[in-house]
Amino acid sequence: MSVWNEYQTKSFYEATSRERANYLVDEGSFRELISPIDEMTSPHLPVLGEAVSFDDGVVTGVGKVSGRPVFVISQEGRFIGGAVGEVGGAKIVGIFQLALDLYEKIKTKYPEDYESRIPAIVFSFETGGVRLHEANAGLLAHAEVMEMIQKCRGKLPVISLVGSKVGCFGGMGFVCVATDLVIMSDLGRIGLTGPEVIEEVMGKKEFDSADRALIYRTTGGKHKYIMRDCAYLVEDSIGAFRSQIEAVLQMPYEDIQKLRSIGTAELVEEQLQLVALAARLNPKDAKDVWKYFGNEDPDRIPDMFYDEFMQKVKIRKRGGI
């Protein structure tokens, strides 16, 4: 068995950013851009006495999935919690620009047959948000990434992956759900504000950041799937994420865009309905919401294995609450 095949069974949650980048794409196809050998490090961290990383906590490159060009971004949570700074943000923006440039070239060369050839962007999130060490530079990087996502809309698929240790929090939570679709495992977490910050501001009684079960019920993959904040829930392996990417890229781009969770007037209306529902239900726990959407035994959901969960779960319907 090749190394590539071995990594298909490796836990996505445990994998490093570089392992995810290399093994989500076809065997031997990944080429890293702005790698550690280039020593592109943050100019801000040394001033603050902080250590730097030669990839600034973000792996970027290009590969193929079933022969189709895919631009890859993969964050590393072990470096400053995957927080985005100036250099990491510039690498991410650069990948988006390369993908858009290739899209335009393909469309020009194959005007009658370009859709099946267009590239995709796969963004593996592992981040606590914007790097506060870099203040405005980090916030600007976040804004520039959001702008690039909007430039890609209607042109090429942008796919978010969430299933790594740190999860996806802060401003990057906005970035994640602004893409065409989100793929998660049940170990993935998405939220605007991290559990520790909520506890610090609102108190332990409001949200206990040490209660892992509570955190996963509130921000975890199963909850996001039930609420349709993610389009697909997969098992915790690199191969499972890769297989779902492969399946998505077989779909017409028009259908892929229908899997968005935010970004249209209709979806805004749905979110407003959910706010009204929350005010009416006044749920004390995510389990109350799960039950409302048809899950008769919500207490069992956190302990269900993947196969049982996917067979029995009832998810929120689109277009109405």
Residue (of 129, 242, 126) closest to 183 by Cα position: 242
Please tell me the predicted confidence (pLDDT) of residue 1: 75
In a domain, 179, yes or no: yes
Give 224's contacts (C-beta < 8 A, 6+ positions apart).
182, 184, 188, 190, 230
Predicted TM-score of the model (pTM): 0.96
User: Does pLDDT of 320 surpass 70?
Assistant: no
Q: What is the pLDDT of residues 54-104, one digit of tens each?
A: 999 999 999 999 999 999 999 999 999 999 999 999 999 999 999 999 999
Task: Tell me which DSSP letter residue 220 carries.
Answer: B
In a domain, 182, yes or no: yes
In a domain, 285, yes or no: no
Q: What is the pLDDT of residues 246-299, one digit of tens each?
A: 999 999 999 999 999 998 999 999 999 999 999 999 999 999 999 999 999 999
Is residue 207 very low, low, confident or very high in pLDDT (cuts 50, 70, 90)?
Answer: confident
In a domain, 268, yes or no: no
In a domain, 199, yes or no: no
Percentage of the chain exceeding pLDDT 70: 100
Cα 199 to its chain centre, rounded Å, is: 24
User: Does pLDDT of 109 surpass 90?
Assistant: yes
User: Angle at the Cα of 257 (from 174 to 117), degrees rounded to 5?
Assistant: 115
Please tell me the predicted confidence (pLDDT) of residue 122: 98
Give the other-Cβ count within 10 Å of 237's Cβ: 20
Assigned token pair, 130: 């914007």
Amino acid at 71: F
In a domain, 242, yes or no: yes
Query: How many Å apart are CA 229 and CA 232, to the nearest integer?
Result: 9
- What is the CATH classification number for the domain harbouring 56? 3.90.226.10
Find the domain containing 234 and state its range: 3-190+229-263
Helix boundaries (H) for the chain: 3-8, 17-23, 86-109, 135-152, 171-177, 195-202, 212-219, 221-226, 238-248, 253-257, 265-281, 286-292, 306-312
If you count them, how many residues does the chain have? Answer: 321
Q: What is the pLDDT of residues 141-187, one digit of tens each?
A: 999 999 999 999 999 999 999 999 999 999 899 999 999 999 999 99
In a domain, 321, yes or no: no
Is residue 8 very low, low, confident or very high in pLDDT (cuts 50, 70, 90)?
Answer: very high
Query: How many Å apart are CA 304 and CA 29, to the nearest integer?
Result: 36
Please tell me the predicted confidence (pLDDT) of residue 68: 94
Q: What is the mean pLDDT of residues 19-38?
A: 96
In a domain, 172, yes or no: yes
Domain count, the chain: 1
